[in-house]
C-alpha cells in the first residue's frame, strides 16, 4: 500500500473540517457562554463514539473553559432508563430528569437518525432548552430539524464524521477559553 491512502485521507479530513461555517462556531460559543452566565448548564449526549466524545468534551468544557457541563454516559443510568422506557427514549428521559429550561443540549449523531437522540431533541424543545446538533450522512436528516444551530459533515464514513465533530467541538472549547495554546496548569 502506498502513501496515497493517507494523503487522500488527510486531504478529505481537512476539507471536511474547513467546511464548517465559522459564524456558526462563534454563535455556538456565544450561546454556551450565555447559558453559563445565566446559571444554566450544558448537556451533551450521543451513542457509541459520539458518547465517548460527549464525555471528553463535557470534561473539557467544565475544567478548561469553566462551563458547567454534564453527559449521560453512566452505565447504571443508561441501562435503567433503557430497561424502563426503551432505548429509543433513554436520552429523552435523561433530559427530562436532568434538564431545565434555559439549559443547552448538544446532540451528536453521525447519521442524525438515531431515534434516542432525535427524541432527546424533541423533549429539550418542549422543556424550552436550546439545542445544537452535530451530524453527518444526509444534510436533511431528522436531527437537524430540531437544532437552533446545526453542524453537518458531508460524509457517510463514521470515523471522518466523528473526528470532524470532535475537532469542531474542541475548537469551540478553545474559542471560549480564548487561547489556542492555553496552559493546562
Summary mean pLDDT of the chain: 94
Are 119 and 91 in contact by the 8 Å Cβ rule? The answer is yes
The band of 43, judged by pLDDT with boundaries at 50, 70 and 90, is very high
How many CB atoms lie under 10 A from the CB of residue 159?
Answer: 12
Span 99-116, average pLDDT = 97
Domains with residue ranges and CATH for the chain: 24-177 (3.40.50.10490)
Cα separation, 22 vs 7, in Å, equals 25
Strand partners, 125: none
pLDDT recorded at residue 183: 59
Span 8-35, average pLDDT = 94
Decide: residue 163, CB within 10 A, 0-12 exposed, 13-18 middle, 19+ buried: middle
Give residue for cell 446545526. Answer: 150
> What is the percentage of the chain residues whose pLDDT exceeds 70?
96
Span 98-112, average pLDDT = 97
Cα separation, 69 vs 59, in Å, equals 7
Span 8-21, average pLDDT = 91
DSSP state of 70: E
The pairing of strands 42-46 and 69-71 is parallel
How many CB atoms lie under 10 A from the CB of residue 145?
Answer: 13
Cα separation, 101 vs 126, in Å, equals 9
pTM: 0.94
Q: Does residue 107 carry a pLDDT above 60?
A: yes
Cα separation, 172 vs 141, in Å, equals 23
Span 146-154, average pLDDT = 96
Using only C-alpha atoms, the chain has a radius of gyration, in whole angstroms, of 16
Say which range, 6-10, 112-116, 146-150, has the weakest mean pLDDT. Answer: 6-10
The band of 178, judged by pLDDT with boundaries at 50, 70 and 90, is confident
> What is the percentage of the chain residues whose pLDDT exceeds 90?
91
Amino acid at each position: 500500500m502506498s502513501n496515497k491512502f493517507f494523503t487522500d485521507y488527510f486531504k478529505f479530513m481537512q476539507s471536511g473540517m474547513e467546511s464548517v461555517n465559522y459564524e456558526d462556531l462563534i454563535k455556538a460559543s456565544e450561546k454556551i457562554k450565555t447559558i453559563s452566565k445565566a446559571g444554566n448548564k450544558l448537556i451533551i449526549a450521543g451513542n457509541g463514539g459520539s458518547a465517548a466524545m460527549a464525555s471528553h468534551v463535557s470534561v473539557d468544557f467544565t475544567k478548561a473553559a469553566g462551563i458547567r457541563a454534564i453527559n449521560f454516559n453512566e452505565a447504571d443510568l443508561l441501562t435503567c432508563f433503557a430497561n424502563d422506557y426503551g432505548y429509543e427514549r433513554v436520552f429523552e428521559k435523561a433530559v427530562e430528569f436532568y434538564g431545565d429550561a434555559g439549559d443547552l443540549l448538544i446532540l451528536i449523531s453521525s447519521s442524525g437518525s438515531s431515534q434516542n437522540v432525535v427524541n432527546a431533541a424533541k423533549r429539550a424543545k418542549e422543556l424550552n432548552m436550546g439545542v445544537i446538533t452535530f451530524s453527518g450522512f444526509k444534510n436533511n436528516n431528522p436531527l437537524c430539524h430540531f437544532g437552533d444551530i446545526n453542524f453537518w459533515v458531508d460524509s457517510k464514513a463514521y470515523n471522518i464524521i466523528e473526528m470532524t465533530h470532535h475537532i469542531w467541538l474542541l475548537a469551540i472549547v478553545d474559542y471560549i477559553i480564548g487561547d489556542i495554546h492555553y496552559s493546562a496548569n
